[in-house]
Structure 1
Amino acid sequence: MKKYHKAIRDKIPEIIEKSGQTCNVKTLSDDQFLIELEKKLAEEVSEYQNDKNPEELADLLEVIYKIAKLKGISKDKLESMRIIKAKERGAFESNLFLIGIGKKETL
């Protein structure tokens, strides 16, 4: 049996079994699953960076939403936090790229 040791979506065991294979899974506590989701987040970022597949962005959102939920933050609250931060610090609409920061010269 090939070993994976990673967080998976809820329907993956069913999909594996329908393909004629077997799988071994266990249910983790919220604290344990949060640790695994943080690893999954890095995995999904890497997959997007390698493939540039927009579906990987959906996977990222799914992981982010579950992490937020485990931390007691709803999707609506997360979106509200995003909007507030965008108002305070801006978003990424202008394609800005910071090259450096220096001290202002006094005249």
Structure 2
Amino acid sequence: MGKLVRDRIPEIIRRHGGEPVVRVLGEEEYRAALLAKLGEEAAELAAASGEEVAGEIADVFEVLRALARVHGHDWRHVEKVAEAKRAERGAFEDRIYLD
């Protein structure tokens, strides 16, 4: 079973004496793999604690950036959309939970 990995992972594996078996995904496979990776990284974030949290958030962030690109959006556009949503609906800072 394979998984999507960061671009330099094959190089790192080779540097440590391994020989990775890799392939480049097509557009639809890539989108599906990114969504699967987002779930994987979100689960790792949920299980993280202490200093690990920042690294796991960074992993989720990198997957989100890739998802934005694959859907034709640059990150600045996503930030503008997020800002507009914050202005209209608020953020999650007040910890409001709707029962």
In our comparison, the structure showing a higher alpha carbon Rg is 1
Cα displacement (A) at 1:29? 1.3
Equivalence for 1:46: 43
Q: In structure 1, what is the Cα distance between the partners aligned to 2:27 and 2:48?
A: 30
Residue 57 of structure 1 is matched in structure 2 by: 57
Can you give the 5+ residue segments of structure 2 that lack an aligned partner in the other structure?
none
2-structure distance, mates of 1:93, 1:10: 34
Aligned identity (percent) is: 34
Q: How many residue pairs align between the two structures?
A: 96
Which one has a larger percent helix, Structure 1 or Structure 2?
2
TM-score (norm. length: structure 1): 0.85
The residue that corresponds to 1:32 in the other structure is 29
Aligned to 1:84: 84
Alpha-carbon distance in structure 1 between the residues aligned to 2:92 and 2:48: 22
* Paired amino acid for 2:60: L
The one of the two structures with greater contact order (alpha-carbon pairs below 8 A, sep at least 6) is 2
Which stretch of the first structure deviates more once superposed, 89-98 or 63-72?
A: 89-98
TM-score normalised by L of structure 2: 0.92
SS in 1 for 2:79: helix
Q: In the TM superposition, what whole-angstrom CA distance separates every residue of 1:36-65 from its partner, at most 9, and x where no partner exists?
A: 000000000000101232201000010001
Match of 1:97 in 2: 97
Alignment correspondent of 1:66: 66
Q: State how far apart, in whole Å, the 1-side matches of 2:70 and 2:28 are.
A: 8
Give me the whole-angstrom Cα distance separating, in 1, the residues matched to 2:61 and 2:67.
10
Q: Distance in 1 between matches of 2:68 and 2:92?
A: 22
Q: Structure 1: where are the runs of 5+ without partners?
A: 100-107
